[in-house]
Amino acid sequence: MASVSTAAAPALARAASDAPADARPERSDPRAPVTMVLNINGREHRVALDARTTLLDALREHLGLTGAKKGCDHGQCGACTVLLGRRRVLSCLTLTAVAQGHPVTTIEGLAKPDGELHPMQQAFIDHDAFQCGYCTPGQILSAVACVSEGHAGSDADIREYMSGNLCRCAAYPNIVAAVNQAKALMTTSVTGAGQP
């Protein structure tokens, strides 16, 4: 039995490859753009992108929202943090398609429409919680979520729940101070642009 199967396999493979091209089932091009509708900072955007495009690349390369930073592109630094609904996500590890149906908040959409800063943005300024600023958009969005999750009860909690956001300038003590200031002023809603 084994020798019959072995002998038959090449013949079957040959027959399949000899079939005319138009007789084979059509395959769609996996690189063909897919239309997606995104709600970012309270505005709807319709984009046509490769289905494999990350949310970070969609924001930075296709929508001109460069606040989220590409630090490592491997989920290790937190510089790309944005809010997806009420959750903080690493946009370098999030497919754009997954963001459909959820409001996305980036640092560009955190202040109120009249320009008034979010309490967390103001607190970062008040406490000088940055130096070069590269990590700051991700730190601020992560801090907003940290508070709304109820993980800012103590300095130790803040350090633990902000530990996914690295700062090469080591502004950590100032960041903890900023979160402590902002948490007293924040409501629990972080689901839309300009909402603390």
Binding mask 128-167 for ligand FES (x = CB under 6 A): --xxxxxxx------------------------------x
Stretch that binds ligand FES, among 6-14, 57-65, 74-82, 97-105 (CB under 6 A): 74-82
Please state the closest distance from residue 105 (CB atom) to ligand FES, in A.
Answer: 16
Q: What is the closest distance, in whole angstroms, from the C-beta atom of residue 10 to ligand FES in the complex?
A: 48
H-run or E-run covering 177: helix 172-183
Residue 174 beta carbon to ligand FES: minimum distance, rounded to whole angstroms? 9
Which strands form 34-40's sheet, in the order they lie side by side?
Answer: 43-49, 34-40, 103-105, 81-84, 87-90
72 binds ligand FES (CB under 6 A): yes
Residue 55: which H helix or E strand, with range?
helix 55-57
Q: Are 5 and 156 in contact (CB under 8 A)?
A: no
Q: Does 90 bind ligand FES (CB under 6 A)?
A: yes
Q: Could you say which DSSP state residue 28 is in?
A: -
78 binds ligand FES (CB under 6 A): yes
Instruction: Give 54's Cβ-side CA count (13 Å radius).
Output: 18
Hey, what are 83's tokens?
Answer: 């809010």
What are the residues binding ligand FES (CB under 6 A)? 70-73, 75-80, 90, 92, 130-136, 167-169, 171
